[in-house]
Amino acid sequence: MRLSSEIYCTVLLLIFARNSKADIPDCNYFDTVDISNVERQNDSYLYDDILIPASLTGDYEYKMFGRLTMPAKKHLRACVCKLRPCIRICCPAKYTLANGKCGDGLQEELARLESYIYLTSATNLSTKTRVPLTEMAIIRDQFLACDEMVHVTDEFAYVENGSLYISDGGYFKPQYYCLYPYQFNSDFPTSMWIVKHSCITYMYPGLREIVTISLICFILTIAVYLYIKELRNVTGKCIIFCMISRFIQYLIVILLNMKVLNSICSLAGYSLFFFWRASNLWLSVISYQLWKLLTSVNRAEPTNMFQLYNAFVWTTAAVMTGCIYMVNLMWENDLNKWNWLPLVGYINCAAKFSSSTSWIYSTGPSLVLSTFNIAMFTLTAIYIRKVKREIKKFAHEEEGRMGCINFDSQTYLQFLRLSVVMGLTWIVDVIPFSARFDIVWKQIIMITDYYHYAFGIVIFILLVLKRSTLTLLIKS
């Protein structure tokens, strides 16, 4: 969806395609399933009781999501829809198994309920045949970032090629929707819920490597602040806890991307939300603490101040995480509210951040915290500027240069450190998701995303590799 990443992926795909076996002849990619974990039996493969001849298989070095093609590890796919009519049913991320199958027990449930659908001929939409779902090839599709729940109540036609026609003129190709999995004990198929794939998001090229380096820098920064006694003041302790929260957040992101935490998908998702919120709260605490410290005449720090900060951050993060947990728990099966839910463990293990309703639990709180951080930075910068102006005025009064205000490099560097530690750039997270498809916003968001994932590197350079810290480190 983002131009530079698409070009990168397309180039890689062309390189990989030179050495790859040709795709299965006369078979749409979306009519195939991954059978890499299926053992070959003579000259065929057995997939969900469907015997697939080797002639209908092929090696692929890419995967497709809607219109997007992404390079992928070489894997074997089979054109299962050539043998049976297919039906695409979504599988929540929390039930996705390591072999690509879905472990929610849906197929056993379909057999017990004797569920069926009316299949329409592609050449004659008025011809309908009742087909049990157990006699179809069930493809478990994944939820995607901008999915929307759509209730189809009017007359519709489910075509044998997997397309869906709706009476009001709506038309969905198989790659742009899947059926919601837990609706077959209701009034299906007279009406049904479909999950419409509105857009796709993915991790930028090279981000995994950047995050890994950032994690190492987080560890080094935390170690330095713990080792140097002079840095273990209230501000230093807040920075340490902020770095710990951000470290855990990024570590979970990497492990989820590597599919290491699939067995505890929901737990990982709620933990990610908790530490993401905690790290943002710590940035606001640091902003307040620096403003208070730099603008106060009395530099003495109350002994219980850090304990109060701790109580505020962890309690607030826990309450916010508990709220999305309770909302998911209460309304998860209410499909009318589905588009409003955080949906931890559905689209992926993390909460849903790409919908217009995510402002309730994501964008809204982020806007409040970012606005507070900007206000604290502005007040601090004004104070520092005022103090430096007064000092310069005093120093050059005799030379008649009272109105000259020149910031030296140390002042600029000080403002740079403050802007980073106070987390000013996180305001980009509140940009409406719809605006992220504009070509200008795409580039801005891509740059800030790279910066945020490299946050550990930036912090290490600005806070550790500075003269005063290195001097303290040598003396210690």
Confidence of residue 337 (pLDDT cuts 50, 70, 90): confident
- Helix locations, 190-233, DSSP H: 207-227
Within the chain, what is the greatest distance between any pair of CA atoms? Answer: 98
**Of 116, 130, 117, 120, the residue nearest 167 (C-alpha):** 120
Determine the average pLDDT of the residues in 384-406: 60
User: Taking 90 as the threshold, does the pLDDT of residue 269 lie above it?
Assistant: yes
Q: Between the CA of residue 348 and those of 107, 198, 213, 377, 394, what are the distances in Å?
A: 22, 15, 24, 35, 60
| Rounded average pLDDT over 367-385 | 88
User: Mean pLDDT, to the nearest integer, of 45-65?
Assistant: 90
Lowest mean pLDDT among 169-183, 247-261, 411-425: 411-425
Beta bridge partners of 62: 71
Q: What is the mean pLDDT of residues 197-210?
A: 80
Residue whose pair of structure tokens reads 């806070």 in the numeric block: 463
pLDDT above 60: residue 240: yes
Fold (topology level) of 207-475:
Rhopdopsin 7-helix transmembrane proteins (1.20.1070)
Domain ranges of the chain: 1-83, 84-202, 207-475
Range of lowest pLDDT (13-27, 53-67, 333-347): 13-27
Return the CATH number of the domain spanning residue range 84-202.
Answer: 2.170.180.11
Give CA separation, 329 vs 93, 256, 266, 286, 404, in Å. Answer: 16, 22, 12, 34, 62
More confident position, 183 or 1: 183
pTM value?
Answer: 0.83
Which has the closest alpha carbon to 222: 470, 464, 466? 464
Backbone angles phi, psi at 221, to 5 degrees: -65, -45
Residue 360 CA to residue 86 CA, distance in Å, equals 38
- Of 274-278, 394-398, 441-445, which one has max mean pLDDT? 274-278
Picking from 196, 276, 332, the residue whose alpha carbon sits closest to that of residue 453 is 276
Q: Are 214 and 253 in contact (CB under 8 A)?
A: no
Mean pLDDT over 381-385 rounds to: 84
Axis crossing angle, helix 409-421 with helix 364-395, rounded to the nearest 10: 160
At residue 395, the pLDDT reads 60
Identify the band that residue 86 occupies on the pLDDT scale cut at 50, 70 and 90: very high
Average pLDDT of span 336-359: 82
Long-range CB pairs of 268-271 (<8 Å, 24+ gap) are: 268/349, 269/94, 269/344, 269/345, 269/348, 269/349, 269/350, 269/351, 270/321, 270/324, 270/325, 270/344
Rounded Cα gap, residues 110 and 133, in angstroms: 7
Contact residues for 459 (Cβ-Cβ < 8 A; gap 6+): 217, 218, 221, 243, 420, 421
pLDDT above 90 covers a percentage of the chain that reads: 33
239 contacts 287 by C-beta, under 8 angstroms: no
Of 457 and 169, the structure prediction assigns the larger pLDDT to: 457
What pLDDT score does 10 carry? Answer: 43
Given a cut of 90, whether residue 297 has pLDDT beyond it is no
**Greater model confidence, 440 or 405:** 440
C-alpha span between 106 and 110 (Å, rounded): 6
Residue type, 335: L
Helix axes 467-475, 207-227, angle to 10 degrees: 50
At residue 295, the pLDDT reads 83
Q: What amino acid is encoded at 61 in this protein?
A: E
Structure confidence by residue, pLDDT tens digits, 356-366: 677 788 888 88
Please write down the HEC assignment for all residues of 227-255. Answer: HCHHHCCHHHHHHHHHHHHHHHHHHHHHH
Cβ atoms of residues 192 and 179 within 8 Å: yes
pLDDT at site 322:
95
Number of other CB atoms surrounding residue 91 within 10 Å: 23
Average the pLDDT over 173-192 and give the result.
88
Q: Which CATH architecture has domain 1-83?
A: Roll (2.30)
Kindly indicate the confidence band of residue 455, based on its pLDDT and cuts at 50, 70 and 90.
Answer: very high
* pLDDT for residue 440 is more than 80: no
CA 2 to mean position of chain CA atoms = 15
Q: Indicate the burial class of 299 (C-beta count within 10 angstroms; 0-12, 13-18, 19 or more).
A: exposed
pLDDT, average across residues 408-426: 77
Is residue 218 within 8 Å of residue 247, measured between CB atoms? yes
Are 84-202 and 207-475 the same fold in CATH?
no
Task: Say which DSSP state 96 is in.
Answer: B
Q: For the chain, how far is it from start to end, CA to CA, in angstroms?
A: 50
**Rounded Cα–Cα distance for residues 222 and 214 (Å):** 12
Residue-level pLDDT at 276 = 94
Quote the CA–CA distance of 169 and 146 in Å, as a whole number. Answer: 22
Indicate the pLDDT class of residue 408, thresholds 50, 70 and 90: low
Whether the pLDDT of residue 398 is over 90: the answer is: no
383: pLDDT confidence band, cut at 50, 70 and 90? confident
Tally DSSP H helices, then E strands, for the chain.
11, 16
Q: What is the arithmetic mean of pLDDT over 183-203?
A: 83
- Return d(Cα 291, Cα 235) in angstroms, integer: 11
Check residue 427 and give its pLDDT: 77
Whole-angstrom distance, CA of residue 182 vs CA of residue 109: 9
At residue 355 the predicted structure's pLDDT band, cuts being 50, 70 and 90, is low
List, as one string, the DSSP characters of 129-144.
Answer: EEEEGGGSEEEEEEP-
Task: Please write the tens of the pLDDT for every residue from 150-160.
Answer: 888 877 888 88
Mean pLDDT for the chain overall: 83
As a whole number, mean pLDDT of residues 10-27 equals 54
* Size of the chain in residues: 476
Instruction: Say yes or no to pLDDT of 12 above 60.
Output: no
Task: Inform me whether the pLDDT recorded for 88 exceeds 80.
Answer: yes
Please give the pLDDT value at position 438.
63
